[in-house]
Chains A and B, each alone.
Chain A
């Protein structure tokens, strides 16, 4: 991401917005530094393999060290822990084996830790890296000396385990973070790196960043538009799904605007660039989502505040514990206790708990073309109980012709059947954008009718459309009943329909020849979506500016409450009133027309947002215009909130429980390292469930808690036993 305060490797926000030396790469943690250094030298493909090889060899040696250490420990404890010659030889052999196997681990994993420490020191902010390094060096130095001398305790396993666990933990965190931000990177990958620039001296290939407004680019079929622009020559069907959610390709020709990230399906285009580099539609869209994620949430700010004093506190506790145990049991015990405190404390879990889950959820939503512009929206959505819907354009997509009827005069006018009436009406309706006219045109098209040839079709504002039939010069009209009836001998149709059902009439030379009835088309997925929301414990209500009977028709079909007619300001007032009751209010509406209501609700969810992200007023935008995204979103929000809460609970609880134990000298540093590793993994893993878009199996998180808790307590018990 391009934000000021984000990690150069994983793209997550840097804690506390660390910003230093321009040009120098910035990383949020040791893991990212480690992974990035390998990526730089070997490329992204080689990274995982090289990383695993390096870590794997270190782990292999560490496992050897552990086996010999355990043999040593059991010898010390066993009945044969005397000074017999055989036992001494075994001791010496085991110690030397440990020394031999520890060397490669120091070489392989000590480097990145050393670099991280140096970088901290250069910034004047020495952190836990320095202490870890000191602890490792002290443990190794003391052990090597003891081995050389042939007496005294050895702590090779401490040096190995700390290095392996710290590196492995940080790297797993880094790759976990990378995966949570993958969805946004995938979107960015839609833009090509290099483009074909058309100039006076022919065509040149150049980098996308160097393209300036006014230049002309050549885009071939099958390519994504690299930037916003206006078509100069050529025409093509454009798939705009990425930025507008519109699934039907749209034909674009000279003079038309095209957006970056959309797909040219079938034609060669010459496009004049209108946006500066990095400011195209897709880039603005991604930046908006990235800003939402890095803006953080209330919980994140809380965690950051805690993390800010957490590290100094750990350092003080470590120093105190070191001094205490040194004085009581000697230097080795002091160093081990201090090191255990530093190793077992997991500020990363604290710092990662919220952003990781938030990024994962936002990325997961983006993959489904649900764009979240405010990180806090997830928390508010999780609490929301009242779902307000706009009607037109939100629950309904338009109109359809439900019935038609010919009058007695129809036959005389040459309209032998209903299709002839519809063909005549469609000829008039063609070209009008009125919902009823569009419904007539669609209905005729659906029946495969060829519209009657017309001359001079014109619309009469607020009344209807009139035109001259090409065949016989008669004047045909399609419009409101009042208008048609008022002109001649028209009467309403005989069909009995409930009051309020919209109706139009058709006349030829002022004689009514037929009537058409309309109904609003409810989105096919609306009923299921609303039912799911209600089943989840929500309450749904339609707030509409339309006539009550029409709103009632739609609301009754969906089985939800309705309020109409509401002026825009009344809608706003109603939402504010609902908001004051304390129940979270979600407003689902049209991105442009319902802007005030969307802004007033706890969470505004918009359909039909259009390509221009700067005009969006909602917190969340359903680019696909699909209402079934709503229950999914509510579910994701609930899971995100749960994950964040669980992550924070774990991070706080873990540190609160284990740091004191380590300070008391009850936790061996090697086991402290394992516990820290487990803690990081838990936090990363629970967030990855969100990133992968798959709901965790029922109770899986609880199961993890149940599994994790005994692991830690078992580790503690074993440590106690070891001591």
Chain B
């Protein structure tokens, strides 16, 4: 299990990725009410909504992980494999964001609920903005899927929940800044940050893979142990 500070860091560093898709939402929320203080409340409500959804998804992922682990009792293989899968996904996302792997366009059709989300984002009330955050958290996002796989690797509802909450927390600052100040960094700086964030994703993915790989064991052979950090993946007692 990767420590939560590292997850927050992943969120922080992945934020450049978030700015691409979710940044416009933050801007829309800000544009509805330009007063600084009101905008801060709205941005916080939106962030809270997103965080809530991430936490629930994390809990669900943790639960799915738990079910999968209990389907294959007697080993650490399942969470280890999940951690490796999550790592591979993150590495792939990082590499494609960095431009190393050519991106494939995946078509997303016209979502019938799109107009309604827009309506919520521009609504006056804080409740609506919070709900907009809840729905934003459900938008398809590769980074999210990678993190969810990681949450599944915890094979525990509350730890999965906390994993995603920690990751979500990391994404807050960048979006908050984007929503409050429009754009603080210039285009070139943002592009550098984007590339940097992409490589950070690759690094997070590699750490996850290494941790997972350290705990895969075959037959009766003892797991090799984590090559990088403290052993957090706890073997499930052969229930």
The answer for the CA separation of A700 and B123 in the assembled complex, in Å, is 33
The answer for the CA separation of A686 and B107 in the assembled complex, in Å, is 11
A74 partner, pick from B53, B115, B156, beta carbons under 8 A: B156
Query: Which residues of A are found within 8 Å of B55, using beta-carbon distances?
Result: 67
Q: Mark B91-122, 1 if CB is under 8 A from A, else 0.
A: 00000000000000111011111011101100
Query: Which residues of B are found within 8 Å of A175, using beta-carbon distances?
Result: 112-113, 115-116
Query: Which residues of B are found within 8 Å of A396, using beta-carbon distances?
Result: none
Name the prevailing secondary structure of the B interface residues.
helix
Interface contact A56-B67, CB-CB below 8 Å: no
Interface contact B117-A74, CB-CB below 8 Å: no
CB distance from A71 to the nearest CB of B (A): 5
Interface contact A48-B68, CB-CB below 8 Å: no
Query: Which residues of B are found within 8 Å of A403, using beta-carbon distances?
Result: none
Query: Which residues of B are found within 8 Å of A77, using beta-carbon distances?
Result: 66, 70
Query: Which residues of B are found within 8 Å of A688, using beta-carbon distances?
Result: 109-110, 112
The answer for the CA separation of A74 and B64 in the assembled complex, in Å, is 10
Most central of B56, B112, B115 by chain A CB within 10 Å: B112
The answer for the CA separation of A67 and B57 in the assembled complex, in Å, is 9
Query: Which residues of B are found within 8 Å of A685, using beta-carbon distances?
Result: 109-112
Does B60 belong to the interface (CB within 8 Å)?
A: yes
Which of A126-178 touch B at CB < 8 Å?
Answer: 172-173, 175-176
The answer for the CA separation of A176 and B112 in the assembled complex, in Å, is 5
Interface contact A63-B110, CB-CB below 8 Å: no
Does A593 belong to the interface (CB within 8 Å)?
A: no
Does A414 belong to the interface (CB within 8 Å)?
A: no
Does A53 belong to the interface (CB within 8 Å)?
A: yes
A721 partner, pick from B53, B71, B123, beta carbons under 8 A: B71
Which of A676-723 touch B at CB < 8 Å?
Answer: 684-686, 688-689, 691-692, 696-697, 700, 703-704, 718, 721-722
Name the prevailing secondary structure of the A interface residues.
helix
Interface contact A52-B59, CB-CB below 8 Å: no
B131 partner, pick from A57, A71, A718, beta carbons under 8 A: A57
Query: Which residues of B are found within 8 Å of A700, using beta-carbon distances?
Result: 106-107, 109
Interface contact A718-B67, CB-CB below 8 Å: yes
Query: Which residues of B are found within 8 Å of A176, using beta-carbon distances?
Result: 112
The answer for the CA separation of A700 and B127 in the assembled complex, in Å, is 35
Does A60 belong to the interface (CB within 8 Å)?
A: yes
B123 partner, pick from A49, A697, A718, beta carbons under 8 A: A49
A696 partner, pick from B60, B62, B109, beta carbons under 8 A: B109
Does A66 belong to the interface (CB within 8 Å)?
A: yes
CB distance from B187 to the nearest CB of A (A): 27
A52 partner, pick from B62, B66, B131, B156, beta carbons under 8 A: B131
Query: Which residues of B are found within 8 Å of A79, using beta-carbon distances?
Result: 237, 239
Query: Which residues of A are found within 8 Å of B123, using beta-carbon distances?
Result: 49, 53
The answer for the CA separation of A703 and B104 in the assembled complex, in Å, is 12
A63 partner, pick from B52, B70, B115, beta carbons under 8 A: B52
Q: Mark B127-168, 1 if CB is under 8 A from A, else 0.
A: 110010011000000000000000000001110010000000
CB distance from A712 to the nearest CB of B (A): 15
What is the chain B residue whose CB lies nearest that of A689?
A: B109
Interface contact A689-B56, CB-CB below 8 Å: no
CB distance from B93 to the nearest CB of A (A): 17
CB distance from A161 to the nearest CB of B (A): 12
Q: Mark A10-45, 1 if CB is under 8 A from B, else 0.
A: 000000000000000000000000000000000000
Query: Which residues of B are found within 8 Å of A57, using beta-carbon distances?
Result: 127, 131
Which of B34-71 touch A at CB < 8 Å?
Answer: 52-53, 55-56, 59-60, 62-64, 66-68, 70-71
CB distance from B130 to the nearest CB of A (A): 8
Does A51 belong to the interface (CB within 8 Å)?
A: yes
Q: Mark B196-230, 1 if CB is under 8 A from A, else 0.
A: 00000000000000000000000000000000000
B66 partner, pick from A49, A74, A686, A697, beta carbons under 8 A: A74
Interface contact A179-B110, CB-CB below 8 Å: yes
Interface contact B113-A49, CB-CB below 8 Å: no
B128 partner, pick from A49, A67, A179, A721, beta carbons under 8 A: A49
What is the chain B residue whose CB lies nearest that of A175?
A: B112
CB distance from A43 to the nearest CB of B (A): 13
Does A70 belong to the interface (CB within 8 Å)?
A: yes
What is the chain A residue whose CB lies nearest that of B125?
A: A53
Does A59 belong to the interface (CB within 8 Å)?
A: yes
The answer for the CA separation of A18 and B106 in the assembled complex, in Å, is 40
Interface contact B107-A67, CB-CB below 8 Å: no
Q: Mark A611-649, 1 if CB is under 8 A from B, else 0.
A: 000000000000000000000000000000000000000
CB distance from A41 to the nearest CB of B (A): 16
Query: Which residues of A are found within 8 Å of B63, using beta-carbon distances?
Result: 70, 73-74
Q: Mark B161-177, 1 if CB is under 8 A from A, else 0.
A: 10000000000000000
Interface contact A52-B112, CB-CB below 8 Å: no
A71 partner, pick from B109, B125, B157, B237, beta carbons under 8 A: B157
What is the chain B residue whose CB lies nearest that of A694?
A: B110
A49 partner, pick from B70, B120, B135, B156, beta carbons under 8 A: B120
Interface contact B60-A60, CB-CB below 8 Å: no
Query: Which residues of A are found within 8 Å of B60, using beta-carbon distances?
Result: 66, 70
The answer for the CA separation of A79 and B234 in the assembled complex, in Å, is 15
What is the chain B residue whose CB lies nearest that of A722?
A: B67
Interface contact B67-A721, CB-CB below 8 Å: yes
What is the chain A residue whose CB lies nearest that of B71?
A: A721
Interface contact B105-A697, CB-CB below 8 Å: yes
What is the chain B residue whose CB lies nearest that of A686?
A: B109
The answer for the CA separation of A653 and B113 in the assembled complex, in Å, is 25
Query: Which residues of B are found within 8 Å of A51, using beta-carbon distances?
Result: 116
What is the chain A residue whose CB lies nearest that of B124?
A: A49
Given contacts A67-B59, A688-B109, contact A60 B131 (CB under 8 A): yes
Given contacts A70-B63, A721-B68, contact A691 B110 (CB under 8 A): yes
Query: Which residues of B are found within 8 Å of A49, using beta-carbon distances?
Result: 116, 119-120, 123, 128
Interface contact B120-A56, CB-CB below 8 Å: yes
Interface contact A60-B161, CB-CB below 8 Å: no
What is the chain A residue whose CB lies nearest that of B160?
A: A70
Given contacts A70-B59, A74-B63, A696-B107, contact A172 B131 (CB under 8 A): no
CB distance from A570 to the nearest CB of B (A): 47
B110 partner, pick from A53, A173, A692, beta carbons under 8 A: A692
Q: Mark A299-318, 1 if CB is under 8 A from B, else 0.
A: 00000000000000000000
Which of B67-91 touch A at CB < 8 Å?
Answer: 67-68, 70-71
The answer for the CA separation of A685 and B107 in the assembled complex, in Å, is 11
Query: Which residues of A are found within 8 Å of B109, using beta-carbon distances?
Result: 685-686, 688-689, 696, 700, 704
The answer for the CA separation of A77 and B236 in the assembled complex, in Å, is 13
What is the chain B residue whose CB lies nearest that of A699?
A: B107
The answer for the CA separation of A684 and B125 in the assembled complex, in Å, is 30
What is the chain B residue whose CB lies nearest that of A179?
A: B112
The answer for the CA separation of A64 and B55 in the assembled complex, in Å, is 10
CB distance from A669 to the nearest CB of B (A): 16
Query: Which residues of A are found within 8 Å of B128, using beta-carbon distances?
Result: 49, 52-53, 56
The answer for the CA separation of A52 and B131 in the assembled complex, in Å, is 8
Query: Which residues of B are found within 8 Å of A66, using beta-carbon distances?
Result: 56, 59-60
Query: Which residues of A are found within 8 Å of B52, using beta-carbon distances?
Result: 60, 63
Interface contact A689-B110, CB-CB below 8 Å: yes
Query: Which residues of B are found within 8 Å of A59, using beta-carbon distances?
Result: 131, 134
13 contacts between A and B (CB under 8 A): A48-B119, A52-B116, A52-B128, A53-B120, A53-B127, A63-B53, A66-B56, A74-B156, A74-B157, A175-B115, A700-B107, A704-B109, A722-B67
Q: Sorted from nearest, which 3 A-B pairs have the closest CB atoms?
A: A700-B107, A56-B131, A697-B107
Can you add 16 more A-B contacts, CB < 8 Å, to A67-B59, A74-B156, A718-B64? A48-B119, A49-B120, A52-B113, A52-B128, A53-B131, A64-B56, A66-B59, A70-B60, A71-B59, A71-B158, A685-B111, A685-B112, A696-B107, A697-B105, A703-B106, A721-B71
